[in-house]
Copies of this chain bind each other. A is one copy, B any other.
Amino acid sequence: MDELDYSSVGWTAARLARQVEVALAPLDLTPAQYRMLVQLVRGPDVSSRLAEKLAVSAPSVTAVVEGLVLRGAVERAHSVEDRRLIALALTELGRTLLASAEEALQDKLGSIAGELVDEASVASALDALKLWGEALDRARARRHSAKPSGTSGTGN
């Protein structure tokens, strides 16, 4: 009961990553920008927490957000309580952009999944990806609860 085969998991994830990139390109959206939009559609947040959640450095957040702000998809708002904090929030345009991105991704990944022979396989592939989503959520939760200043660097 312990013969789990991880042999191609990295390769497959890396290939899927490239397809995500390809699917978003026509929208002039990068994977990093897409991840930021998804994170923000769940509600406004501050830069430092976004860095944690997205597993990137603080300067990366600044850079990615800057592009989205220039594009009118995200707005910055200084906190009145602690003026060091800057809340980031999606604009309506940002929501529209995200919706387009989701559609593009579903089209692309859907057409890939559609290559599978039977619909049961397709459903299985989709379900499993949902399992990965669940696992990612838990791994993230553990990362943050473990210690605000993780075991190594940004904790990734």
B129 and A12 contact, CB distance less than 8 A: yes
Task: Tell me if A's interface is mostly helix, strand, loop or mixed.
Answer: helix
Report which of B4, B7, B122 forms a contact with A122, defined as CB distance below 8 A.
B4
Could you tell me which residues of chain A, from 1 to 52, have a CB within 8 Å of some CB in chain B? 1-2, 4-20, 22-23, 25, 31, 34-35, 38
B126 and A4 contact, CB distance less than 8 A: yes
A109 and B31 contact, CB distance less than 8 A: no
The reply to whether the CB of A83 lies closer than 8 angstroms to some CB of chain B is no
Q: Which residue of B lies closest to A9 (CB)?
A: B109
* A126 to B8 Cα, complex, angstroms: 9
Residues of chain B lying within 8 A (CB to CB) of residue A136: 12, 15-16, 19, 112
Give the size category of A's interface with B.
Answer: 35 or more
* A129 to B133 Cα, complex, angstroms: 12
Residues of chain B lying within 8 A (CB to CB) of residue A110: 4, 6, 9
A-B contact list, 16 entries, CB within 8 Å: A4-B122, A8-B133, A12-B136, A13-B20, A13-B109, A16-B16, A17-B20, A17-B31, A18-B31, A19-B55, A19-B136, A111-B139, A113-B132, A124-B127, A125-B135, A129-B132
